[in-house]
C-alpha cells in the first residue's frame, strides 16, 4: 500500500467519524442533552477529513512498471510529459492521472480455447500463394513505449490491444503467408516467413507508439482436404521408397551373384591355366627323361631288356655258336646261322 492510498483510507475513516459524531449530536439534542463538546469535535473531524481527502486526492504513486498520463483542465487537456515512478503531487479535482503499465504483455491468437485473449478458436485464417487455406496460431509479445505514452493515450487510450496489436498482427500474418507456397511455409522457408511477419508487426506497432518485443509462430494447420492429400502423398512416398529399397536389394543380390560367378569363372581359368602349365612342365620333364634315356642306351642293354620283356620266366637259353646276339633285335634283318 502506498502513501496516497493510505491517506485516502484515513480520509475515509475521518468521514465515517464525522458521520458518527453527527449522529451522536443528533441523539443528544433529541434527548435535550448538551452537545457543546461534540460540536467542536465534529467541526475538527470535518476539517481533518477535508484536508486528508484533498491531500489523498492530490498524491499519486506510480509503480516502477508504470507511467502516468496527467489529464488536466487547460493546457490542451493533457500534460506533455508522463509521470515517472514515484510519488507525485497533482492539483486535486483539477487534474487526474491515467496509469499505464509498461511491462511486457503477450497477446495470443490460438485455436485452442482458453489459450488466447478471445474465447474459442481465434487462429488466423490465411491463404497461401498457391491458394491453400492455412490456420496460424501465434503470440505477440509487446510493450508500451514509455517515451510515446502521451501520444498513445491521445490516440488509443486503453484500447490499443484490441485496436492495434490484434489487427496489426493478423494483417501482417495474412500478408506474409500470401507470399509463400504451402509447402514452403512448413519446410524450407518457415524461418523466412516468421521473420517477415515479425518485421511487419514491429513496424505496425512502432507506428502506433508500441514496441514489439518478440513474435512466436506457434503452429500451422491445414484444411482437412489438404491434410488428407499430404497424408496420401506421404504414404505414396513411403511406398516408393520401399519399392526403391526392394529394387536396390535385388540389384545387390544380382551383383553378389555376378561376383560369385565371376569368382568361380576366374577360379576355373586359374585352375585350367595351372593344369595346362603343369602338363607342359610334365611333358618337358618327360622329354628330358626320354632324351637322357636315349643317350644312355647300348645294344647290349637293349637286347637284355628285350629278353626280359620277351620271356621273364625263362631260366636257360641255348644259342647257336658264333652268334653275337641271342636273338635279332626287333626290326633288324634276320641272318642265317653259320654252318657247324
Please check whether residues 81 and 139 belong to one and the same domain: no
Model confidence at 297: pLDDT above 70: no
- Listed residue (220, 129, 135, 221) closest to 179, CA to CA: 129
Please check whether residues 198 and 138 belong to one and the same domain: yes
What the block records as the C-alpha cell of 79 is: 500534460
**Which of 228, 250, 278 marks a domain boundary?**
228
Residues with Cβ within 8 Å of 230's Cβ and at least 6 positions away in sequence, in order, are 222
Please check whether residues 159 and 83 belong to one and the same domain: no
Please check whether residues 123 and 17 belong to one and the same domain: no
pLDDT score for 315: 58
Please check whether residues 97 and 109 belong to one and the same domain: no
**Which of 228, 245, 267 marks a domain boundary?**
228
User: Positive or negative, the Cα torsion across 310, 311, 315, 321?
Assistant: negative
Going along 158-231, which residue ranges are E strands?
210-222
Highest mean pLDDT among 113-117, 219-223, 315-319: 219-223
pLDDT score for 314: 58
Using pLDDT thresholds of 50, 70 and 90, give the confidence band for residue 69: very high
Q: Other CB atoms closer than 10 Å to residue 18's CB: what's the count?
A: 20
Give domain status of residue 52, yes or no. Answer: yes
Provide the residue range defining the domain that includes 33.
3-101
Percent of the chain with pLDDT over 90: 36
Segments in 59-181 forming alpha helices (H): 149-155, 160, 166-177
**Which of 81, 101, 121 marks a domain boundary?**
101
Give domain status of residue 214, yes or no. Answer: yes
CB 233 within 8 A of CB 181: no
Give domain status of residue 184, yes or no. Answer: yes
Residues with Cβ within 8 Å of 18's Cβ and at least 6 positions away in sequence, in order, are 42, 45, 46, 49
Q: How far is CA 255 from CA 243, 247, 265, 266, 295, in A?
A: 18, 12, 15, 16, 59
Please check whether residues 54 and 30 belong to one and the same domain: yes
- Residues 113 and 39: their CA atoms lie apart, in Å, by 62
Please check whether residues 136 and 91 belong to one and the same domain: no
Please check whether residues 91 and 116 belong to one and the same domain: no
Please check whether residues 93 and 125 belong to one and the same domain: no
What domain count does the chain have? 2
- Which residues face 59 on adjacent strands? 89
Please check whether residues 95 and 121 belong to one and the same domain: no
Give domain status of residue 300, yes or no. Answer: no
CB 84 within 8 A of CB 62: yes
CATH code assigned at 158: 3.30.479.30
pLDDT score for 340: 44
Give domain status of residue 39, yes or no. Answer: yes
Please check whether residues 47 and 12 belong to one and the same domain: yes
Q: How far is CA 6 from CA 15, 23, 280, in A?
A: 14, 26, 125
* Whether the predicted model's global pTM rises above the 0.85 cut: no
Give domain status of residue 294, yes or no. Answer: no
User: Positive or negative, the Cα torsion across 195, 198, 202, 203?
Assistant: positive
Give domain status of residue 216, yes or no. Answer: yes
CB 100 within 8 A of CB 209: no
Residues with Cβ within 8 Å of 210's Cβ and at least 6 positions away in sequence, in order, are 142, 143, 144, 145, 152, 160, 164, 165
More confident residue, 147 or 229: 147
Please check whether residues 91 and 126 belong to one and the same domain: no
Question: What integer is the mean pLDDT of 184-213?
Answer: 94
Percent of the chain with pLDDT over 70: 79
User: Positive or negative, the Cα torsion across 92, 98, 104, 105?
Assistant: positive
Give domain status of residue 196, yes or no. Answer: yes
Residues in the chain: 340
Amino acid at each position: 500500500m502506498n502513501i496516497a492510498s493510505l491517506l485516502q483510507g484515513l480520509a475515509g475513516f475521518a468521514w465515517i467519524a464525522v458521520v458518527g459524531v453527527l449522529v451522536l449530536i443528533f441523539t443528544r439534542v433529541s434527548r435535550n442533552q448538551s452537545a457543546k463538546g461534540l460540536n467542536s469535535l465534529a467541526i475538527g473531524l470535518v476539517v481533518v477529513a477535508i484536508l486528508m481527502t484533498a491531500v489523498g486526492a492530490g498524491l499519486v504513486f506510480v509503480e516502477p512498471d508504470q507511467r502516468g498520463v496527467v489529464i488536466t483542465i487547460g493546457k490542451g487537456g493533457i500534460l506533455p510529459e508522463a509521470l515517472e515512478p514515484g510519488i507525485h503531487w497533482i492539483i486535486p479535482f483539477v487534474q487526474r492521472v491515467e496509469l499505464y503499465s509498461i511491462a511486457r504483455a503477450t497477446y495470443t491468437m490460438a485455436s485452442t480455447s482458453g489459450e488466447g485473449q478471445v474465447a474459442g478458436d481465434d487462429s488466423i485464417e490465411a491463404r497461401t500463394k498457391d491458394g491453400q487455406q492455412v490456420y496460424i496460431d501465434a503470440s505477440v509479445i509487446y510493450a508500451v513505449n514509455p517515451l510515446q505514452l502521451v501520444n498513445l493515450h491521445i490516440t488509443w487510450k486503453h484500447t490499443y490491444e484490441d485496436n492495434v496489436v490484434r489487427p496489426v498482427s493478423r494483417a501482417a500474418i495474412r500478408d506474409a503467408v500470401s507470399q509463400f507456397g504451402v509447402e514452403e511455409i512448413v519446410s524450407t522457408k518457415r524461418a523466412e516467413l516468421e521473420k517477415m511477419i515479425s518485421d511487419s508487426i514491429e513496424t505496425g506497432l512502432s507506428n502506433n507508439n508500441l514496441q514489439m518485443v518478440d513474435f512466436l509462430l506457434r503452429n500451422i494447420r491445414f484444411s482437412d482436404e489438404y491434410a488428407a492429400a499430404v497424408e496420401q502423398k506421404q504414404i505414396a512416398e513411403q511406398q516408393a521408397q520401399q519399392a526403391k529399397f526392394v529394387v536396390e536389394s535385388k540389384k545387390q543380390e544380382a551383383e553378389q551373384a555376378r561376383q560369385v560367378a565371376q569368382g568361380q569363372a576366374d577360379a576355373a581359368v586359374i585352375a585350367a591355366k595351372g593344369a595346362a602349365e603343369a602338363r607342359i612342365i610334365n611333358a618337358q620333364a618327360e622329354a628330358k627323361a626320354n632324351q637322357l634315356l636315349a643317350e644312355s642306351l647300348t645294344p647290349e642293354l637293349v637286347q637284355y631288356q628285350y629278353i626280359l620283356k620277351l620271356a621273364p620266366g625263362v631260366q636257360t637259353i641255348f644259342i647257336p655258336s658264333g652268334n653275337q646276339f641271342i636273338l635279332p633285335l626287333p626290326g633288324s634283318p634276320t641272318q642265317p646261322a653259320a654252318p657247324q
